[in-house]
Amino acid sequence: MDFEYFMNEAIEEAKKALNNDEVPIGAVVVLDGKIIGRGHNMVETNNHAFEHAEINAIKEAEDYVGDWRLDGAILFTTLEPCVMCAGAIIHSRIKTLVFGAKDVQRGFAGSILNVVDDGIFNHRVEVVSGIKFQECKELIDNFFNEKRKK
């Protein structure tokens, strides 16, 4: 599997968030080599605190397969998931989580805690990190640097 190809697709989603002045995070869900769900951060746009990139991508993938169980699916996301999204990844039975940049302050797939692969739940998620991390990190860092300037 070409991890960089799919992470680029997640980055494209993050750029859609950026264009809406949302924190630029994007995600795609891949099953059998095909993207079946895409999502980006839409918290401000839709006024829903839960509309993070990962949940929106998972929702689209679940609608595609007609099942809340995404057995065998791989989630690519530009930033290490927060506590809520880490939970959604477990609940939807994602097989593998691939993320770009770490979120050392709020990440729950290794930074603060690892809830996706620590044995609390029956289901465990494989984790791959650091794919195109520089580009993913710059997207976020530049966004907050610009906000601070204003």
* Catalytic positions: 54
User: DSSP secondary-structure letter at 114?
Assistant: B
Q: Which stretch binds a second copy (CB under 8 A): 21-29, 40-48, 128-136, 137-145?
A: 40-48
47 binds a second copy (CB under 8 A): yes
What is the Cα–Cα distance from 64 to 86, expressed in whole angstroms? 21
Q: Which of 2, 32, 66, 149 binds a second copy (CB under 8 A)?
A: 66
Count of C-beta atoms within a 10 Å radius of residue 126: 12
Q: Which stretch binds a second copy (CB under 8 A): 11-19, 27-35, 89-97, 137-145?
A: 89-97
Q: Is 40 annotated as a binding residue?
A: no
What is the Cα–Cα distance from 58 to 15, expressed in whole angstroms? 18
What is the Cα–Cα distance from 103 to 24, expressed in whole angstroms? 13
C-alpha angle with apex 84: 95 to 76, nearest 5 degrees?
Answer: 40
Summarize the annotated binding site for Zn(2+) as residue ranges. 52, 82, 85
Residues in touch with a second copy (CB under 8 A): 43-44, 47-50, 55, 58-59, 62-63, 66-70, 82-88, 90-93, 106, 108, 112-113, 115, 120-121
